[in-house]
Amino acid sequence: MRRPPNIDELLQRMTLAEKIGQLNLLSAGEGPETGSAHSRDIRARLEAGQLGAIFGTKSVRSVRAWQEIAVEGSRHGIPLLFAEDVIHGHRTIFPLPVALVCSWDMALVRATARVAATEAAAEGINQVYAPMLDIARDARWGRIAESPGEDPFLAARYAEAMVGGLQGDDLTALDTVAACLKHFLAYGAAAGGRDYDNASLAPAELIGVYAEPFRAGVAAGAASVMAAFNAVNGCPMHAHRGLIEGWLRGVCGFDGLVVADYTGVHELIAHGLGDRATVAARALLAGVDMDMIGEDYLACLPELAEAGLSRPEAALDLAAPAIIAAIDRSCRRVLSLKQRLGLFEDPYRYCDEARAKGAALAAPHRDLARRAVAASCVLLRNEGVLPLKPGSRVALIGRLGDDRANMLGTWAVSGDPGQAVTILEGLRAVHDGPVDHAKGANIVDDADIAARLDVFGPTVLPDPRPEAELIAEALALAARADVVVLVAGEAKEHSGESSSRTELDIPAPQRRLLEALAQAGKPIALVVMAGRSLVLARESRLADALLLAWFGGTEAGHGIADVLTGRAEPGGRLAVSLPACSGQVPIHHGAETTGRPWTGQFQKFRTGYLDLPGEIPPARGLYPFGFGLGYTRFEWGEPRVTPASPGGPDARVTVAVTIRNAGDRRGTEVVQLYVSDPVARIVRPSQELKGFERVTLDPGEAREVRFTLARDDLTYLVGDSVEGLSRVWDPGSFILRLGPNSRDLTSIEITWND
């Protein structure tokens, strides 16, 4: 154990070059690289004292080797940070974030983050680039898979659970890691759903919706934040001083480390902000402390610190002392995080081969992952097909039904697909009856798309047989079976980074397979694998049961089989609205009302779509946010509100409802509370989620669920600039809505006076 340094003294002893070195962040290149530029010469950088952190290592041995060079081979012995993308698990892969959020079970989310931190920390990793907190309302955007969905309240609870699970109470503990909230800010609002595209948002929506999970993550103590690739209202986030230094640090009180995203500083050149020196200066001054991959800080800051920078064309005039002060400030943040992690005392504290071996894919981790799969599966429709009848002969059809390569989903960079359980294996293990399998169709039939999907290795390798032959084989299997379980959907790389789509359908060959099977007359349970909210209109008509299983990770096959056979409840409730057609996105449950609101059916000169069935609200989708069925039935009592006319700033309102399990098996209901503000000074969202509670009841059991609202819960932001935002509320009428999803709600109007 070494003595931790005094950071002020250490900074005084460091040269400018050593400080700039601490701001450099490179990839070990031991896993897939997610950009076109790659890190080279990291050994040379280390030996020259030009590296503060490495991400993307894949073993304790490699972490230890790099750390030895950093600590033993440098003047001050400053240890490296080791970071990794641990998005939905490290070695044990959990369901995709968008799936896990569908559990609405924050204790479960926290437990998965604990496991991820334990596995990662045992391998020498001390910072993870998670949680991803980008509100996503446009399913064209592939990174909706990594997101907490469309709602800021739910996403904020996810942020708290993830930070709590990853960081625990003590960052020096051997099973905790520093969280990194990303991508700050509004990356999910990319124009047209195109990854990396820019966002234009009114300040109140930017802060009230998109920044809300970041606010919650910071309040929960997150140690670091990653900047987003996109520009917001004309300023790229890597240069956005107003949002990083101004809002995140100034308003929100964040005092941790801000890292760039992959070549994000360098990309400011393509954004049109100037040459390499200019963008390095702008990012540093904006508050981006570490430069990932691009090395613009390393290349430009020494000279900038000597000569300053004057760029009239970019309205920039910086004196050298300002640059030096910013370098000092950022270096202090890097060193402080290293100190918080206990790395100065023992740079190898997280490296332990035995612990790493014992932790990775440990049995309790896999058990939790299996439970998490069932909790994330959303049952959208069920005409008496599920759970499967014991003893029934099942025709399991679909290439994805017996597939290991796709099971983990996107962004599982340390997961081993070889460890994943397929649905065929899962079903055979628990279903009390024969299960036969046929592929039925290829995942996609377009060779160009197939090549793009196989970017990280083969996932959609086609069966060379003609489509008719594959379908005929499936039909023959179906003919001999009691029930068809068809598994269809996306390949894992259909979603994720740089995987935006214009059409949100299940790929064509699998749709044709479903159509053919629907003719065969056997009941069909369709299991959909997806990394985004797909359009399932046709599928809802053709299948008798519809289970949205997302990508479930290592234990997907077991967890899905548990749900199909009724060993577990389908626990999921949608964290994203499912559109009725691709043209309906972006959508979310709280869309503002208009001056010509939709009336419940198509009407000329009203908000709506000419070509959307009249009964589908234009901004709500086919399956609403919060929706999901279970295997039992609940009866809801009349909601009660006390007092009905509250007054004064300290007043509280309690909303209570009693629900009863009226079915014949144990089950869970997610009780959801929404609030509408029908008269306000500006147009308000049609409704906002303000509370939820999961209630699990035995048959016949009843429970009262209560929510308490304070006046603060009814406030909202107004203002023309981020700096000028203020929080206001408008006394008078409010509508409280309670129900099992964002559509089927019982409303009570109250009057809340000043």
Residues of this chain that interact with ligand NOJ (CB under 6 A) are: 34, 85, 129, 182, 261-262, 497
Nearer to ligand NOJ, 154 or 260 (CB): 260
- CB 337 → ligand NOJ: shortest distance, Å? 16
Q: Take residue 565 and report the two structure tokens written for it.
A: 């056979």
Q: Which is nearer to ligand NOJ, 104 or 262 (by Cβ)?
A: 262
Closer residue to ligand NOJ (CB): 184 or 716: 184
Q: What angle do CA 479, 481, 482 make, to 5 degrees?
A: 120
Smallest separation, CB 415 to ligand NOJ (Å): 15
The Cα 279–Cα 272 span in angstroms is 9
User: For ligand NOJ, which is the closer residue by CB, 497 or 544?
Assistant: 497
Q: Which is nearer to ligand NOJ, 182 or 492 (CB)?
A: 182
- For ligand NOJ, which residue has the nearest CB? 129
Q: Specify the 3-state DSSP secondary structure of 69.
A: helix
Residue type, 246: G
CB contact at 8 A, 699 and 665: yes
Q: How far apart are CA 561 and CA 401, in angstroms?
A: 11
Q: Which is nearer to ligand NOJ, 293 or 485 (CB)?
A: 293
The token duo for 402 is 């017996």
How many C-beta atoms surround the C-beta of residue 257 within 10 A?
A: 27
Kindly state the smallest distance separating residue 474's Cβ from ligand NOJ, in Å: 38
Comparison of 83 and 485: residue with beta carbon closer to ligand NOJ = 83
> Cα separations (Å) of 522 from 87, 514, 570, 647?
39, 12, 23, 60
In the complex with ligand NOJ, which residue's Cβ is closer, 34 or 382?
Answer: 34
End-to-end CA distance of the chain: 59
Q: Cβ of 634: how many Cβ atoms within 10 Å? A: 18
Q: Which is nearer to ligand NOJ, 85 or 352 (CB)?
A: 85
Cα(468)–Cα(99) distance, integer angstroms: 34
CB of residue 129 to ligand NOJ, shortest distance in Å:
4
Measured distance CA(176)–CA(343) in Å, rounded = 13
Q: Which residues of 153-189 are buried (b: 16+ CB within 10 A; e: fewer)?
A: bbbbbbbbbbbbbbbbeebebebbbbbbbbbbbbbbb
**CB 30, min distance to ligand NOJ, A:** 12
For residues 291 and 24, the answer to whether their CB atoms sit within 8 Å is yes
261 is known as an active-site residue: yes
- The residue count for the chain: 754
Rounded Cα–Cα distance for residues 359 and 114 (Å): 12
Q: Which residue in 85, 105, 138, 261 is the catalytic one?
A: 261
CB 574 within 8 A of CB 624: yes
| Integer Cα distance of 130 and 133 in angstroms | 8
Least separation in angstroms between residue 369's CB and ligand NOJ is: 22
Smaller CB separation from ligand NOJ, 124 or 440: 124
Q: Residue 557 CB, nearest distance to ligand NOJ (Å)?
A: 27
- CB of 184 vs ligand NOJ, minimal distance in Å: 11
Tokens of 196: 């990396």
Nearest distance from residue 416's CB to ligand NOJ, in Å? 18
H or E segment at 160? Answer: helix 152-167
**Minimum gap (Å) between residue 551 Cβ and ligand NOJ:** 17
**H or E element at residue 355:** helix 353-359
| Integer Cα distance of 521 and 527 in angstroms | 18
At residue 178, the 3 state secondary structure works out as strand
Is the preceding omega at residue 185 within 30 degrees of 0, hence cis?
A: yes
Pairing of strands 309-311, 291-292: unpaired
Nearer to ligand NOJ, 258 or 536 (CB): 258
- Reduced to 3 states (helix: H, G, I; strand: E, B; else coil), residue 493 is helix
Here the tokens at position 369 are 């992952």
Omega prior to 387 cis, within 30 of 0: yes
| Closest CB 262 distance from ligand NOJ, rounded Å | 4
Side chain identity, residue 662: A
Encode 132-149 in three state secondary structure.
ECCCCCCCCCHHHHHCCC
Q: Which residues are catalytic?
A: 261
